[in-house]
Amino acid sequence: MAAEGFRGPKQVWNAFLWSMKGLRAGWRHEASFRLEACLAVVLIPLGLWLGHGGVEKFILILAPMLVLSAELLNSAIEAVVDKVSPEFNELAGRAKDMGSAAVFVLLVLVVLSWALILGPRLFG
């Protein structure tokens, strides 16, 4: 249930702690998240270094961050589906496949954004 009334520093701090707990769970239990996080650790500083201007830098760091967010959401979907429906179910399988597809689409976005921004500089 949503909190009612004033949300002060304590509630903001608690939300931060829950977010850190979610990141730790993603790191501990999801090999794909660990791999994508390592990729982001490399790509984000590179994007800040190689991007010309604020917009390019923003695009080059946004794409890997979106992948991490989608991977966490995909992992959450998979965990809930596995809890609710441990036996095979077509709808459960479809939900998991669609979550995986969302991550894939964002990985394609990483490749396209990096290629379109940096490709002409490297090969032009």
Question: d(Cα 39, Cα 67) in Å, to the nearest integer?
Answer: 10
Catalytic residue among 56, 71, 78, 87: 71
* Radius of gyration of the chain measured on its C-alpha atoms: 18
Residue 36: name the closest of 27, 28, 48, 24 by CA: 27
Give catalytic status of residue 87 as yes or no.
Answer: no
Residue 37: name the closest of 117, 96, 103 by CA: 103
**Helices and strands in the chain, H and E counts:** 4, 0
- Active-site residues: which are they? 71
